[in-house]
Every structure is written in C-alpha cells, then in structure tokens.
Structure 1
Amino acid sequence: HYYAGFSGGAKAILPGVSSEPSVVKNHELMRDPAATTGNLKSPVRLDMEDAARIADLDFILNTVLNSQKEIVLSTAGDFIKAHRVGAAAVDRMYRRYVEPAEIVVSCAGGRPKDLNLFQAQKALDNAKNAALPGGTIILLAECCEGLGHPAFERWACEASSAEDCWERFGREYEFGGHKAAFLARESMEHHLILVSSMPRDKVEMCFMNPAKTLDEALAMAKARQGKDARMLVMPYGNLTLAVGKRASAHGSWP
C-alpha cells in the first residue's frame, strides 16, 4: 500500500468500519515522509493499529494473492502477528532490489487497474525508486476514464505548477487531491511520461508528458537520457515494489 505500507491487518477497523472524520485524520498522516510503500512503520499503519487496539480487535483473516488473483497464502489470528506473516510473504513475492536506471518502464497491469489515472498512479509510485534522480519513468496505462476522481482533477487544474501543488498538500489535505500532489512531487524528481488514451492537455495538467505509443515514449526518454541509457522494465508495476540497492545500503529502506 503506497502510504499505509501494506494493506490488510488493522485496516479492517480503520478505515474499514470507522467514521469519516477518523478516516480523514488517519489519511492526513500520508504527508509524513515515512508513509511509504512497504514500510510497516508507516505512521498511517501505526495509527490504524492503535485504532484496532482501542476497538479490541482479536482476530483477522487475510490472504495474499498472486498476479492472477489466486490465493497463495492465508494467515489468521492476532492482527499484528498474522499480518506480519502476510507482509513477509508479499515482500518475498514482490519486493525487488535493483540498481537504479536512467529509464524505467512500468505497466499499470491492464484493465481494470488502468481504467483511470487515480488507480494507475500506484504503478508509478512503485517504480520511483528504480529510477535515478532526474531519470525518466514511463507509465503505461489506458486511463479511458480519465483522472478518476473529481478532487484529483480539481487540484491538478488549480495548480500553477508542480511546486505549487505539492506546497498546497503541505498545508491542507483533501482525499483525491493527494494524487495530484504525489504526481507533482514525482515530476520534480523524475521526468514522467504517460502512454495512455487521455487527451494531451489532461496529461500535461497532471505534470506528465503525453505519448500515444511505447515507441514514442522510449524515443522521448532516450532523447533526454541518452541512447545508451540503462533501462528497467516492470511488467507488473502495480504489484512489484522496486527498491534501489543504493538506498538499501544506506538503511533508508523499511
């Protein structure tokens, strides 16, 4: 999960059956730099687990799925211990340590995972650590439904720049707007290209560069990064979490 670390576990309580104010307060914690994919100590997850203790949650049943939506593991019992067993299985399956490259190609996973950019953004977030600073990330996602959330579209439309959108996120929170902010932040660190059916102006509004085909996107990336640039491909970008080897060597990974 791109800001709760992992799905499952205490999420059954918060946000699962919690009030809207509680959910909003919890989600506001995604602004913390430690609220990242694969981090069991994400402040969002820790807050969820505090809520589960208050609610006296005493049993969970979680499953781990493969790319074909088949159950490969079931884990049940204590909401911390059972969840950690599932998280470890997910790590073994989907966490990959890589040498960051100049160009990264990430696929959102096809229908229905790429119906809109709101959903497809997860594949971009999973790929960010595979790209060198200033590198290019190409996201393949049809996005036939466009952005997929009114607040997402409004925040992107109202932003005068990526910096403006990210600064707004630092002082106010609105669910949906966070997607625009995350894309804005990523565009300040990497050159983003979206291969989709979205209109050019909508893509550019979301701080990304539009391309109609992968060939076109690769040509754009190589023109920027050099014809001999290293490339990494993530065919299951919605599932695979890339972790830079250099980052892990310095202890900044979860």
Structure 2
Amino acid sequence: MVLEQLHRAGMRKDQIRFLWALGSHGAYDMIAARKKLGDGIVENYAVYNHDPFQNTVRVGRTPTGVELWFNREFMACDLKIGIGCITAHVHVGFGGGAKLILPGVAGIETINQFHNQQFRDFSRTGLGNFDNNIMRTECDAAGDMAGMNFKVDCLVNRRGEIASLYAGPFRATHARGAEDGKVHYGIPYRTGYDIVVSNAYGKANESAIALSFLVMLLKTGAQGTGVLIADSPEGQVPHYVFRAWGSDYGGRHFAARGKGFIPLLMKRLIVLNPAPDRTFLDLVCDNGDAEVVKTWPEVLAMLEKEYPSDARVAVVPDGTVQYLMQPGA
C-alpha cells in the first residue's frame, strides 16, 4: 500500500530505498530481508542495513543534551516514512513511534547517551509505562529533529499478525497505539506463584526480556521456580550496547551477571532452549545459575519432581511483548 501510493505520486523505483532501523542490533542478511519484505521488494528496490559506527550525520541535541547523529542515507531523503510495530518495551513503555529513529537509525554514541537517560528516573521508564516516560520524550524530540514525515504502526497478536493498524504523524500513531496496547498486551496483576513459565516468543532472540515476568510473578523471597523458553536457533541478537563481546566485557551498558545472581531472585531457573550456546544467557545470568534443557518433556519431569502435588502456576504466552499491569488497572 505504501509503495503503491508513492508510485501513484510519480516516484520511481530508484528514488525509493528501504533501511533497517536496527539501532545497535546486528545487521540483517538478505534471507531475513526476503522474509520481511518479500522477493519483489528485495529484487527491485535498494535495501540497506543501518551502520551505527560510521556514515552518520549530526542533527543537533535533544533538550536534555543527547547528541543526535543519524544515518546519512536516511537524512539525505526528502520524504521519511517509518513502518514498525507497537509492543510493550522495557525502556520507552511501548515501542513504536519515533523509537524507529532513536535508537533505530542513530549512531552508537547517540544510542549510548539515549540509554543513559534511564538512570535519571527509573520510575518514569519501564514496560507499559508510557505516559510521562522520559525515554519516550527523547525519542519524540529525535523524531522531530530528524524530520520523520509519516509513520505506520501496528499492534500484533500472538501469531505475529497485525491486530490493529495506525497511520499518520508519529506522535499520534504512537499515542493511540500505546493506549490500545495497554489493554491488548496487558496481563492483570497477580503474584505469588510457585511456578512461572515465560515464553520469549515474539522476540525469541531477545529472551532476556521475558525474565522480568519470572521475577514479578513468582513468590517473594526467592521461593519459586521460573521457566524461561528461549527457542531461537539463530541465537540471541548481537547487541553492541548491552551484550558481552568478550570473556568479561561488552557494550557500554553490559553488566556481567556473577554466579549467585539468580538465587537472589528465585529458587530455581530452568531454561528451555533446543539450540543452546555458551553465551546466550549473558543478559540473564551466569551459566552456572541456570539449568538448560532442550525439550519440554525434560522441563515437565523436573517440575513434577519438584512439585509432586499441587502448585500455583502462571504461563505467560509472550514475555517479550506483554507487560504486567499495575494493581487496580
């Protein structure tokens, strides 16, 4: 539909390009591009990865002082259209809107400075915390300064299909989609479970996000058992800001999880991963703190042995896009 309208307005194929707004995540290959865009687009239009380490241009600063450097190709375009989705997000409350710009097409130092903003006031960030969110404010300022002209956003269901669609100015699509998303992605507030199963489905290669549900829903006092499902054969996404890039170091915001971290949060952590590797838990815990298995029957056997009779159980269908609503919401 977007391409149809652009061509109807007189634009040629060589005037249109696609740019993956991956921020500090690893680059896409063309297999991923064909899955996302289809063969027709990949074979007829230029498709570029974003490189946060070079070929960026300075645009200015946000009101709080974040230095804004953006993708050179993006900034050279006369018409800037963003296409993305809105899901609950650990920093900006709900993704979507101008998050496609910051950190999406930003330079690495800009991205680092952006993530520093969470330390100003943690109470004004977090999953589902959209209103008065200090990090969303940074995104909005960046969207204005970058000159994003039009935004298409959507909510997705548990099968990854479009459930609601929004199009227009980025602030409007983000606000409306986030308001609907509070109900669409929200899980009623309950706690005190013996067992919590949190599935990293929509963002399987960012499974650490789903860990938060284990912490929030389990019994307090590190009593319960958490099960994290991380079925991502390609591994966890490379992240130049948060993930490890060596034996004891990583990106600017990498925080090594020493052994003994998980026992402070729960009695036991079981991770279901059919294709594990030695670094996939670097955002979660030390490898010695988790019991990694490859099949669901193995998980069930461990749980049945630990809880031979009754147990209070919560299952989170997608711990990477949903969020726990506040009490009384």
2:50 alignment partner in structure 1: none
What corresponds to 1:16 in structure 2? 104
The verdict on how the C-alpha distance between 1:44 and 1:213 changes in structure 2, with shifts beyond 3 A counting, is same
CA contact (8 A) 1:62 1:76 kept: yes
Alpha-carbon RMSD: 3.6
TM-score, scaled to structure 2: 0.56
Q: 1:200 to 1:61 in 2, by over 3 A?
A: closer
SS of residue in 2 equivalent to 1:192: strand
Match of 2:264 in 1: 188
Q: Are the aligned partners of 1:65 and 1:73 in contact in 2 as well (CA < 8 Å)? A: yes
Match of 2:248 in 1: 158
Structure with the bigger RCO (C-alpha within 8 Å, sep 6+) is 1
Contact 1:127 1:237 in 2 (8 A): no
Q: Map of 1:104-119 to 2, 5 A cutoff?
A: 104-109=196-201, 113-114=203-204, 116=205, 119=206
Shift in Å at residue 105 of structure 1? 0.6
The gaps in structure 1 that reach 5 residues or longer are: 160-171
3-state SS of 1:149 partner: coil
Which protein is bigger by CA-based radius of gyration?
2
Q: 1:55 to 1:150 in 2, by over 3 A?
A: closer
Identity across matched positions, percent: 27
Cα distance in 2 for partners of 1:37, 1:158 equals: 28
User: For the Cα contact (< 8 Å) 1:95–1:241, is it kept in 2?
Assistant: yes
Distance across 2 between alignment mates of 1:3 and 1:9: 14
Determine the C-alpha separation between the residues in 1 that align with 2:263 and 2:136: 26
Change over 3 Å in CA distance of 1:205–1:5 after alignment to 2: same
Cα distance, 1:209 vs structure 2 = 2.6
Moved more, 199-208 or 31-40: 199-208
Gaps of 5+ in 2: 1-88
Corresponding residue for 1:205? 286
Higher share of residues assigned helix: 1
Q: Could you tell me which residue of structure 2 aligns to residue 37 of structure 1? A: 127
Report how many aligned residue pairs link the two structures: 226
Return the match for 2:113 from 14, 22, 25. 25
Is the contact between residue 200 and residue 210 of structure 1 (CA under 8 Å) also seen in structure 2? Answer: no
User: What letter corresponds to residue 226 of structure 2 in structure 1?
Assistant: I
> For residues 16-45 of structure 1, what are the alpha-carbon distances to aligned partners after superposition, in whole Å with 9 as ceiling and x for unaligned?
333322122112334553331111143322
Q: Which structure 2 residues correspond to residues 91-170 of structure 1 after superposition, within 5 A? A: 91-100=182-191, 101-109=193-201, 113-114=203-204, 116=205, 119-133=206-220, 134=222, 135-149=224-238, 152-154=243-245, 157-158=247-248
Cα distance in structure 2, aligned partners of 1:185 and 1:223: 24
Contact 2:244 2:251 in 1 (8 A): no
Q: Residue 12 of structure 1: CA displacement?
A: 2.9
TM-score, scaled relative to structure 1: 0.70
More moved, 71-80 vs 1-10: 71-80
Partner Cα distance (2:211, 2:159) in 1:
20
